[in-house]
Amino acid sequence: MREIIASQKFFIGLIIGLAVFGLIVLLSASGPISYANYSDPLYFVRRQILLGLLPGAIAFLIFSRLDYRILKKVAFPALLVSLALLVLVFIPGVGITLGGSSSWVSIAGISFQPSEFVKMTFLVYAAAWLASRGKEGIRSPEGTSAFLLALGAVVVLLVLQPDTGSMSVIAGTTILMYLAAGGPVLWVLGLVLSGVAGLAVLIQLTPYRAARFMTFLHPELDPQGVGYHINQAFLAIGSGGLFGLGFGQSRQKYLYLPEVQGDSVFAVMAEELGFMMVVLFICAIMLLVWHCFQVARQSHDAFGRFVAMGVGIWIAVQTTVNIGSMVGIMPMTGVTLPFVSYGNSSTLSLFVALGIVFSIARHAQGRK
């Protein structure tokens, strides 16, 4: 009993610690741009608390007390609702275009990003599908075709927005879940190669993607144009060194580095707190992922196992994509850094996912 309580306390303590740390980093990173745009240095922090963390905490409490097995019954309807929301972004008067991407929806004065919730709903759908099929069903061409059709619909809608970042996170998470569930390695390799081929076609057809890809290959090209973002990120990260310039001492956040409150917040973190603190942050994320995998191992049913495993993979993939784009080992995609980046939709969906993992752990430990 003491081990169960200790595990639950560790999980909740780790989440709270990461959330508080992220809020502190966001406080420093977003101050200048908040003041410049809204004459309020706390604008993004205040909204992150009121519209992200507080609803997220409430959602965590609700889903942690909910019997997660109910989600298996509503997995497909929830996926259909998510697909409908992805379609809404293209409807004038409902969809909102920001930064050249039609990724937002405004309903009754409430704005949110449907792709963030699709990360969760498609993960639950994938877990339900994998659990109901079993290893033999997963390997059958007939069953896999239906599953790939659902994934393809999500990918196409995200590409059309365009939201390559969310697409890469959802596709990466799903493929790794499929592989971990016993999917044939050759099929997975075929999916990956098909995805790479599809991205190559998109790069050829869309000039802005081609520019991003060339910047990824040669970041030194056009440092004042398409290469500006990545070069400013390099300057910020390189300036931090081992121990950083000190909290609040970033230079790049003063309207040099784009999206400091969003996908570029990692660069400010590295500049101010240094390599050692970045390593500690990554270790904390890895501990959270490891705990999700432990919950998956302890789960007494396949659905709970795949959901907990999927949430861990999702957090790991999204963190890797964000940090990888900032350090130049992946193309710029524009995904948020879990617990740190400003984003109400992404914060809420993350806490919903963690609440479900807590519910799975509670039921598994209660049956011991």
What's the per-residue H, E or C state across 259-311? CCCCCCHHHHHHHHHHHHHHHHHHHHHHHHHHHHHHHHHHCCCHHHHHHHHHH
Classified as helix, coil or strand, 217 is: helix
Q: Please spell the DSSP secondary structure of 236-267, one letter per residue.
A: HHHHHTTT-S-TT--STTTTTSTTTTTTTHHH
Please report the pLDDT score of residue 107 as a whole number. 72
Going by DSSP bridges, is the β-strand pair 95-98/110-112 parallel, antiparallel, or unpaired?
Answer: unpaired
Please report the pLDDT score of residue 319 as a whole number. 96
Nearest to 115 by CA among 173, 50, 166, 45: 166
Instruction: Mention every residue, 6+ apart, whose C-beta is less than 8 A from residue 327.
Output: 233, 237
Classified as helix, coil or strand, 56 is: helix
Please report the pLDDT score of residue 113 as a whole number. 83
- From the number of C-beta atoms within 10 Å of its C-beta (0-12, 13-18, 19+), residue 125 rates as buried
Q: What is the mean pLDDT of each run of 10 residues along the chain (368 residues)?
A: 65 95 95 93 94 95 94 88 83 70 70 85 91 71 71 82 83 88 73 70 63 60 66 89 92 88 92 95 96 92 94 96 88 86 92 96 72
Please report the pLDDT score of residue 219 as a whole number. 62
pLDDT for 220-250, tens place per residue? Answer: 565 555 667 888 888 899 999 999 999 999 9
Please report the pLDDT score of residue 210 as a whole number. 59
Structure tokens given for 313: 């993979």
Please report the pLDDT score of residue 215 as a whole number. 61
Please report the pLDDT score of residue 246 as a whole number. 92
Long-range contacts of 139-148 (CB under 8 A, 24+ apart): 139/182, 139/183, 139/184, 144/183, 144/187, 147/178, 148/191
> Is the distance from CB of 26 to CB of 342 less than 8 angstroms?
yes
Buried b / exposed e over 305-320, threshold 16 CB at 10 Å, is bbbbbbbbbbbbbbbb
pLDDT for 84-128, tens place per residue? Answer: 888 888 887 777 766 656 677 777 667 778 888 889 999 999 999
Classified as helix, coil or strand, 332 is: coil
Please report the pLDDT score of residue 211 as a whole number. 60
Classified as helix, coil or strand, 110 is: strand
Cα torsion through 62, 67, 72, 78, rounded to 10: -20
- From the number of C-beta atoms within 10 Å of its C-beta (0-12, 13-18, 19+), residue 196 rates as exposed
Helices (H) and strands (E) in the chain — how many of each?
14, 3
Please report the pLDDT score of residue 13 as a whole number. 93
